[in-house]
Amino acid sequence: MKPKVYLTLPVPEEVRKYIAEHCEISQWEEEGPIPREVLFQKIADVDGLFTSGGKIDAELLEHGPNLKVVSNMSVGYNNFDLKAMKQRSVIGTNTPYVLDETVADLAFALILATARRITELDGFIKDRKWEPTKDDEMFYGLDVHRSTIGIIGMGRIGEAIAQRARFGFNMDVLYYNRSRKPDAEKKFGTEYSDLESLLKRSDFVVLMTPLTPETHHLIGENEFKLMKKSAIFINVSRGQTVDEKALIQALQNKEIYGAGLDVFQKEPIEKDNPLLDMTNVVTVPHIGSATLKTRDAMAMRAAENLVAVVTGMEPIDQVPYAK
């Protein structure tokens, strides 16, 4: 008999066919995310779970006694309770590598849009406010080329951002990481920096760390006060890596110039969040990997990880258990 797997989201037909060659599939077909209580029922007799989020904790694992693997269609896995998974010998997998360049593209899109006030001025024109004037200073933004970028978290995506910055925009590239990256320094001409110095020197601060207990609210009130008043803050990591109240305060007090945000403390963002009323903040709805080509590649990678474990093989991308 084929192992049973459950999919909490739709996948491309090619991916579904691949899984079906090896597994018996059941899937959530309704609109919106699957309710947690329904998921408890659906995983009662399955060997593998394919998902893109949602808390995987001891409570859920109790309802899936046969689970061997939870395959996340995401590079992040902060939704995994790794200690609980280890106790039940449930393997967690993710989908690194395939989305690196796409997320780096978005990071630079946010840099350019915020620096040159693209969304603000697009709204200005579409609101029919553009009139003849001799004073065009009201449209001025900031230069990106030959400025200084500070990247916090020099993983694969950080390196892809550094490549674009150094060779595409001739920027000076600083980086802060828990360990130095001599290869990246040589390859991209980056300079290793402590966090305080990076924040003080950078025109653009890009946060690219994973969410861990150590990085929760890594950037807060003190960090924003260290930045230049002309600095732009970019976050394409996780919303909880930033103290959002401190960010709002820094923007309101003009301690920094602006921000470009793909992630937020609460998602979807609350409708009364002050960030939504700030013209110097560019917001997008957590779309770091959201292109058709990349999402299809992520789905196939997650499927390969899923199938590997339920058929008794090693997955490509097993995440490390918590110590």
Cα-to-chain-centroid distance, residue 60 = 24
Q: Give which of 304, 261, 308 is closest to 14, Cα–Cα.
A: 304
Which residues partner with 91 through β-bridges? Answer: 69
State the residue for tokens 């995310």: 33
**Is 281 in a helix, a strand, or coil?**
strand
Contacting residues for 22 by C-beta, under 8 A, at least 6 apart: 2, 3, 307, 310, 311
Mean pLDDT of 211-230: 97
Q: What distance in Å separates the CA atoms of residue 36 and residue 45, rounded to the nearest whole number?
A: 16
pLDDT band at 208 (very low <50, low <70, confident <90, very high): very high
Q: How far apart (Å, rounded) are the C-alpha atoms in residues 75 and 70?
A: 13
Identify the CA nearest to 83 among candidates 75, 71, 92.
92
| Count of helix runs (H) and strand runs (E) in the chain | 12, 12
Q: Which of 253, 258, 153, 164 is nearest to 204 (CA)?
A: 258
Which residues does residue 282 pair with via DSSP β-bridges, in sequence order?
A: 260
* pLDDT tens figures, 9-52: 999 999 999 999 999 999 999 999 999 999 999 999 999 999 99
Average confidence (pLDDT) over 204-211: 96
Average of per-residue pLDDT values in the chain: 97
Rg of the Cα atoms in the chain: 22
Q: Is the pLDDT of residue 236 over 80?
A: yes
pLDDT of residue 161: 98
Q: List, in order, residues 6 or more apart from 144 with CB less than 8 Å away.
A: 111, 112, 115, 116, 169, 171, 204
pLDDT of 323 reads 64
- 12-24 pLDDT per residue, tens: 999 999 999 999 9
pLDDT tens-digit series, residues 93-137: 999 999 999 999 999 999 999 999 999 999 999 999 999 987 899
Mean per-residue pLDDT, 164-193 = 97
Residue type, 36: R
Average pLDDT (244-270) is: 98
Residues 161-173, mean pLDDT to the nearest whole number = 98
pLDDT (mean) for 61-84: 96
Span 287-307, mean pLDDT? 98
And the tokens for 19?
């899984």
Residues 311, 288 contacting (CB under 8 angstroms)? no
Banded model confidence at residue 322, pLDDT cuts 50, 70, 90: confident
Calculate the alpha carbon distances from 145 to 23, 70, 162, 233 in Å: 51, 43, 13, 16
Average pLDDT over residues 308-318: 97
Query: What does the pLDDT average to over 277-290?
Result: 97
Q: What residues act catalytically?
A: 238, 267, 286
